[in-house]
Structure 1
Amino acid sequence: MKVITVEEHFESPKITAAINQLNGKSALPNVSPDMLHYMQASLPSPEEMQDVSKQRIAFMDQYGIDMQILSYGNSSPENLNPKISVDLSRQANDELAQVVATNPNRFGALAVLPVGDPQAAATELKRAVNELGFNGVLLKSHYQDRFFDDPFYFPIFKMASELDVPVYFHPSFIAPAVTKHYFESAEWSDVVTGIFSSAGYGWHMDVGIQVMRMVISGIFDKLPNLKLVSGHWGELVPMFLARLDDELTAYSGLKHPFSYYYRKNVYLTPSGILSKPQLNFALAEMGPEHLIYSIDYPYKQPTNSKTYLENTDLSAEQLELFAHQNAEKIFHLK
């Protein structure tokens, strides 16, 4: 069985060096010194993030992964000032295109965009798809505490719709005020607060809200062809589709209930959360055509990456959709 994973990360040494020169090596938002120490100890090394020929290929071969779609990890120019990010995003996409060109049968790519200048971002997305052969775009869940349902960003999504490429929403650090209100306590350490507010729960709540805001904004009535991809089994949202329909339908001004757009325009991936109950729930809520496999490599390197697919409750046809066919269709993989 062919296997494609679509949320797999890469960092360019040249782009990382440029970002570090601008921001400093420890310039991460909302991160305490204790949390920074934890991250440095637990996150993949720069060598793992930058590698595309040795350890990464060995992992793919060991776990039967035929292709990864690569996107920039934490070291991304997306959230920099547009005066810098426009040129640096272009350079980053050129760097990633060179990686794909070295092994086009094993890699695809998602563009990074200078979202602080939406017109420039739309132009760069068009270049990345039409000239570099990219398969979509990955966006972090907000820019300067501003969610992407804001009309300011509409040119990016209009271009994605016109190009018929998906927008993958990825978690990012949340606002300090949100961390303080929901996740901080004198009863536990800054490291627990940091994990709780990020990969433990906060990131997922935040990017799930981003996707919900996209639906509620009415963007899918304007751009019915727009496709969003949401990792971590939908970032908590699918559990509440019935509730959202009951509470929002009468007041949202949308042409259809919330779940209509979510099931039609959103695609879910596991992002390395390889749980059979969550897969079965997502299948029941979304249908087999809206599930796509992902590992979140190298942040996550599950040892059941292969056996997970071999032991699902999916039918043979559903498994083929999940493992590769949906990715091939949505990301236009040859």
Structure 2
Amino acid sequence: MLPPLIALEEHFFSHAASNDTLMREQYSEQFKHIPGLADKLTDLGSLRLDNMKAGQVSLQIISHAPGTMTPNECKDANDQLFAAIKQHPSRYAGFAVLPVADPQAIATELTRCVKELGFVGALIDSHTNEGTYFDGDSYLPLFETAQSLNTPVYIHPTWPTPSALSSFYTGSFPQSASKSISASAFGWHSDVATHILRLVASGLFDKVPNLKIIIGHMGEMLPFMLDRICQLSPRWGKHQRTFKEIYDTNIYITTSGNWSVDPMACILRNTKLDHILYSVDYPFARNEDGLQFMQDLQKSGLVTDEQLEDIAYRNAERLLRVKTGPAWD
């Protein structure tokens, strides 16, 4: 029998996003290939709960799907999520969506969401619509605030800028292939990995040594390049800690949407067990597939029962200071 499951990368669409033509265009391929996606994204009630039960997810940490929004849109989305959490407090918790294009507003909204709404962290896009990453000084207040609140920041993939799409992902293949390669098939993950390297190279973790960063999709390629990164990162400048020390201390990874024990075998060899957490990426991935993955992991012999429980829910309980929901009937 599997232990309870807490899932950290579980998305919804706010009212504002549902009516946003650009965001719906960005998700056109997902809407085409994932049955019922629009309904699942906009639902924060019975449909979501039924899908959680099907995958034996006891608690969802819900966050907004990728897409840069204004400060007011972020506030409205967070308030909408808060209302849903109040309806189902034993099943839902929240990550705040933040206005990453407006660095001065980020810390204010994060503080409001944690202190007033009881959210357990934030999930933000990996860059703004213009392609700005967060290694610059203007984003330091975000990370300082997250550290002071003792809440993690989940850095999530987002859509490439038009120039990146044209330069790296457009070629002698259909536009549908271009969209897929640039996003969930590959580009999203390499982009987040590069962002983490930028943060380390900038010296961010010298300034906020207790900052907690979460990344999904089996570590966004980093575990598989870890030794080479550690070998070459001393060229990035003089910092107080090595890349491996930062990776071991500040970086947490989830399984979201990546249902093979093969990458997990690598991760278990080079990543601290208490930094590995379960996630699904609902509704872009199915809770039932996540459940099957955990059953496969249990049978694989790669982890003990205690280690499986840590990955399934205990690491999330410790990191986010939450409790798993009640067992499903």
TM over 0.5: yes
In structure 2, the residue corresponding to 1:116 is in which secondary structure? coil
Q: CA deviation at 1:102?
A: 0.4
Q: Are 2:307 and 1:315 aligned?
A: no
Q: CA deviation at 1:287?
A: 1.8
Q: Deviations over 1:43-86 (max 9, x none)?
A: 45332112122222112112211011000114x5xx24xxxx22
Name the residue aligned to 1:8: 10
Deviates more, 1:147-156 or 1:50-59: 50-59
Q: CA deviation at 1:309?
A: 1.7
State how far apart, in whole Å, the 2-side matches of 1:28 and 1:262 are.
Answer: 35
In structure 2, the residue corresponding to 1:147 is in which secondary structure? coil
Using structure 1 for the length normalisation, give the TM-score. Answer: 0.89
State how far apart, in whole Å, the 1-side matches of 2:54 and 2:24 are.
Answer: 33
In structure 1, the residue corresponding to 2:90 is in which secondary structure? coil
Q: What code does the residue aligned with 1:16 have?
A: A
Q: Deviations over 1:163-216 (max 9, x none)?
A: 010000110111233333332212x11111111111111111111111111112
Quick check: 2:11–2:65 contact (8 Å CA) kept in 1?
Answer: yes
Q: Are 2:48 and 1:56 aligned?
A: yes
Quick check: 2:193–2:220 contact (8 Å CA) kept in 1?
Answer: yes
Q: Are 2:152 and 1:166 aligned?
A: yes
1:1-334 aligned within 5 A: 1-13=3-15, 15-16=16-17, 20=20, 25-26=21-22, 38-43=29-34, 44-74=36-66, 76=67, 79-80=68-69, 85-143=70-128, 144-186=130-172, 188-301=173-286, 303-312=288-297, 313-334=302-323
Deviates more, 1:301-310 or 1:195-204: 301-310
Q: What code does the residue aligned with 2:147 have?
A: S
Name the residue aligned to 2:326: none
Q: Deviations over 1:98-125 (max 9, x none)?
A: 0111001000100011222223210110
Runs of 4+ in 1 over 6 A off after TM superposition: none
State how far apart, in whole Å, the 2-side matches of 1:65 and 1:255 are.
Answer: 40
State how far apart, in whole Å, the 1-side matches of 2:279 and 2:80 are.
Answer: 23
Quick check: 1:225–1:265 contact (8 Å CA) kept in 2?
Answer: yes
Q: What code does the residue aligned with 2:165 have?
A: T
Quick check: 2:100–2:127 contact (8 Å CA) kept in 1?
Answer: no
In structure 1, stretches of 5+ residues that fail to align are none
Q: CA deviation at 1:270?
A: 1.3
Q: Aligned pairs, how many?
A: 315
State how far apart, in whole Å, the 1-side matches of 2:141 and 2:174 are.
Answer: 42
Q: CA deviation at 1:267?
A: 0.4
State how far apart, in whole Å, the 2-side matches of 1:164 and 1:107 are.
Answer: 20
In structure 2, stretches of 5+ residues that fail to align are 324-329
State how far apart, in whole Å, the 1-side matches of 2:164 and 2:14 are.
Answer: 31
Deviates more, 1:86-95 or 1:65-74: 86-95
In structure 1, the residue corresponding to 2:245 is in which secondary structure? helix
State how far apart, in whole Å, the 2-side matches of 1:212 and 1:240 are.
Answer: 11
Quick check: 1:71–1:110 contact (8 Å CA) kept in 2?
Answer: yes
State how far apart, in whole Å, the 2-side matches of 1:251 and 1:127 are.
Answer: 36
Q: What code does the residue aligned with 1:67 have?
A: L
Q: CA deviation at 1:234?
A: 1.2
Quick check: 2:257–2:279 contact (8 Å CA) kept in 1?
Answer: yes
Q: Deviations over 1:286-328 (max 9, x none)?
A: 1211101000000111533223223322111211110001111
Residues 123 and 199 (structure 1 numbering): CA distance in 2 closer, same or farther, change over 3 Å?
A: same
Quick check: 1:86–1:114 contact (8 Å CA) kept in 2?
Answer: yes
